């Protein structure tokens, strides 16, 4: 498949394993240059080494996207290494499997910081760079549980917020030449 992204720069958050790593592999197969982010240095470095051995150009940034400075620095790392940024894949997420009545305010904030605000932070940091790109694109990895019932309430609410933010940001960003989409995979 030719997605027309050869030599384009893609930042993939949550790229150490799972969906994020598989997305990074697919982008590498298309010839994209990659900035991988994640919190766990060992697994993120291994992912970067795997993709580099496969021929990809890779920058690895270890950081926590729930922190604004870290999210900003991840975008800066991509731009510093490759001279720009074309694609952002927001894949960070996680949940707390606690019954609704037992979920503390701190747990709610943790889930929203991880599963929603991380995407807001990275997208905001990347926005001007994406506007300068000829193919600026943000893809937010949400969840089927953002549209359906079945997961923990806090996670579902955060992923529903992601879907809503994506749809509304798409309208605003279109005028600047940036596409915004959300993808809502089922349980994996």
Condensed to tens digits (0 to 9), the pLDDT of residues 124-156 reads 999 999 999 999 999 999 998 889 888 889 999
Within-domain flag for 55: yes
DSSP 122-177: HHHHHHHHHHHSSS-EEEEE--GGGTSS-S-HHHHHHHHHHHHHHHHHHHHHHTTT
The domain total for the chain is: 1
Q: What is the CATH number of the domain that holds 57?
A: 3.40.50.720
d(CA 9, CA 33): 5
Within-domain flag for 188: no
Please answer whether residues 30 and 57 qualify as being in contact, where contact means their C-beta atoms are separated by less than 8 angstroms. no
Structure confidence by residue, pLDDT tens digits, 21-53: 999 999 999 999 999 999 999 999 999 999 999
Within-domain flag for 1: no
**DSSP-H helix ranges across the chain:** 18-29, 41-53, 68-82, 105-112, 118-132, 153-174
How many C-beta atoms lie closer than 10 Å to residue 72's C-beta? 16
Within-domain flag for 3: no
pLDDT value of position 141: 97
pLDDT value of position 169: 98
Structure confidence by residue, pLDDT tens digits, 62-99: 999 999 999 999 999 999 999 999 999 999 998 878 88
d(CA 18, CA 180): 22
* Residue positions annotated with a catalytic role: 155
What is the residue range of 17's domain? 9-106+113-183
Within-domain flag for 4: no
Within-domain flag for 2: no
Structure confidence by residue, pLDDT tens digits, 45-68: 999 999 999 999 999 999 999 999
Please state whether the predicted TM-score (pTM) of the whole model is above 0.75: yes
């Amino acid at each position: 498949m030719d997605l027309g992204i050869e030599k384009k720069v893609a930042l993939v958050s949550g790229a150490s394993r799972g969906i994020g790593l598989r997305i990074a592999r697919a982008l590498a197969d298309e010839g994209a240059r990659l900035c991988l982010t994640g919190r766990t240095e060992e697994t993120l470095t291994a992912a970067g080494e795997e993709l580099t051995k496969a021929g990809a150009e890779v920058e690895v940034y270890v950081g926590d996207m729930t922190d604004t400075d870290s999210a900003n620095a991840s975008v800066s790392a991509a731009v510093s290494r490759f001279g720009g940024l074309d694609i952002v894949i927001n894949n960070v997420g996680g949940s707390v499997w606690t019954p609704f009545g037992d979920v503390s305010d701190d747990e709610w904030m943790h889930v929203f910081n991880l599963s929603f605000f991380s995407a807001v932070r990275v997208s905001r940091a990347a926005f001007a760079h994406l506007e300068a790109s000829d193919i600026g694109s943000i893809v937010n990895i949400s969840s089927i549980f953002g549209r359906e019932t079945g997961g923990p309430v806090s996670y579902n609410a955060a992923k529903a917020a992601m879907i809503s933010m994506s749809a509304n940001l798409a309208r605003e960003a279109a005028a600047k030449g940036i596409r915004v989409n959300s993808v809502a995979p089922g349980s994996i």
